[in-house]
Amino acid sequence: MEKIQSESPSSDMLSTLLRRNALSGLVPEFPAGETEEDWLEPDSAANERLERFRELLDNETYVNVHKLAKEARNGVPEEVRSEVWKYILGVLRPEKSDEISYQQKLQNEYNEFVSHIYDDDEVVRRVVHEVRRLKILSASTAQFFSREDKSKGKVDENMFVRLISIQLGRSRMEIEYYPTMVRLIAPLLHVNRAESDAYYCFDALMKKHEALFTRDGLNRAVTSFLTLLRALEPEFVSHLESEEVEPNSWVPAWMQTLLAGQLARPLLLRLWDTYFASSEGLELHTYVCLAVVTWMRDELLDEEGPDISESLLNLPSTMFMDQIITRAHNIREDVVGRRLL
């Protein structure tokens, strides 16, 4: 489990949360004499984990991407996340012999893309509007539009315009602009120092995820999720219907953004570590969404329509993402075993 960062709940909240989850079967109750601090990763373990990543990344001749991905599935230290993501997404080559020249080639290629952008005034206007809207929407969303490391520079609206415009122009499919693209890009700009690195990570992500920015692809994903939700959580679905909470008010956003914007930053980055590193990749996302619903179910059943919608679009920062991911794997095994899809 990753060490809790500053955005995490207070000790009292954490203790209450863990004990509540214990009753739901998410985690065991604390053994006698132990506290929630006993569940956090000690500094020594975190340092050892960081050292394992550095050892893989600092190899002079070759980065073993298979081993790197295996480590990354369980979370990537913030200090090396940018470099790790670029390797496991295939942006960087594992061979170190031509590393500097290859990175310069990517930068030159990106500069060429920028110089030939065809600016669609309507797309530019909508992207700028969405960036400005998200900056003031909520504290968890705004976290992605700032960088604590000032040396990385400021994240600005033009970066989003360039990345989206280039991607739309180079798309392998007939995709149109969705405001949710802004949410996908924000974490990549936050993690990467160079705009070009963020673009190539975005391009690699879209190769896996692009179908959900077509109407047919998005409809299929939403339909599959709702089919499983009705089968696994009929009481919750009935509650949504009685409270007139429409699926289109939250499900498409969950599917397209991979929960970017709905999750607090530490949780989202931890989740994407697993998505980028796992062999199942984004195929796990539907089951992660189902796991989030099961984690929140009891609380949501006590809420009314407007509060439910708010909760589904701004997920609690008190979740433990390792627990959610484990539950997602269990749900997928259950779905396969019962042949629900």
Concatenate the DSSP letters of all residues of 161-224 into one string.
HHHHHHHHHH-SS-----THHHHHHHHHHHH-SSHHHHHHHHHHHHHHHGGGGSHHHHHHHHHH
Contact 275, 284 (CB under 8 A): yes
- What is the band of 118 on the pLDDT scale with cuts at 50, 70, 90? confident
Q: What does the mean pLDDT of the chain come to?
A: 86
- Contacts of residue 61, defined as CB under 8 A and 6 or more positions apart, other chains included, come to 95, 96, 97
Q: Which of 11-25, 65-79, 277-291 has the lowest mean pLDDT?
A: 11-25
Query: What are φ and ψ of residue 302, in 5° steps?
Result: -90, 0
Instruction: Tell me the average pLDDT across 301-305.
Output: 95
Nearest Cα residue to 83 out of 46, 57, 110: 57
Question: Which amino acid belongs to residue 303?
Answer: E
Q: What is the pLDDT of residues 103-114, one digit of tens each?
A: 999 999 999 999
Instruction: Tell me the average pLDDT across 83-105.
Output: 94
Instruction: Tell me the average pLDDT across 73-79.
Output: 96
Contact 185, 198 (CB under 8 A): yes
Report the chain's terminal Cα–Cα distance, integer Å: 31
Asked whether residue 30 carries a pLDDT value surpassing 50, the answer given is: no
pLDDT at 151 (0 to 100): 56
pLDDT at 153 (0 to 100): 63
pLDDT at 65 (0 to 100): 97
Give the gyration radius of the chain's Cα atoms: 21
Q: Which residue has the tokens 């692009």?
A: 210
pLDDT at 139 (0 to 100): 63
What is the pTM for the complete model shown? 0.85
Contact 240, 201 (CB under 8 A): no
Asked whether residue 88 carries a pLDDT value surpassing 80, the answer given is: yes
Asked whether residue 15 carries a pLDDT value surpassing 50, the answer given is: no
> Measured at the alpha carbon of residue 278, what is the angle toward residues 219 and 74, in degrees to the nearest 5?
120
Q: What is the pLDDT of residues 217-227, one digit of tens each?
A: 999 999 999 99
- Burial of residue 2 (CB within 10 Å: 0-12, 13-18, 19+) is buried
Return the top range by mean pLDDT from 40-49, 51-60, 136-145: 51-60
* Every domain range in the chain assigned CATH 1.10.472.80: 214-338
Instruction: Tell me the average pLDDT across 173-178.
Output: 88
Determine the Cα–Cα distance for residues 255 and 227; give it in Å rounded to an integer: 14
Contact 320, 1 (CB under 8 A): yes
Fold of the domain spanning 214-338: Cyclin A; domain 1 (1.10.472)
pLDDT at 119 (0 to 100): 77
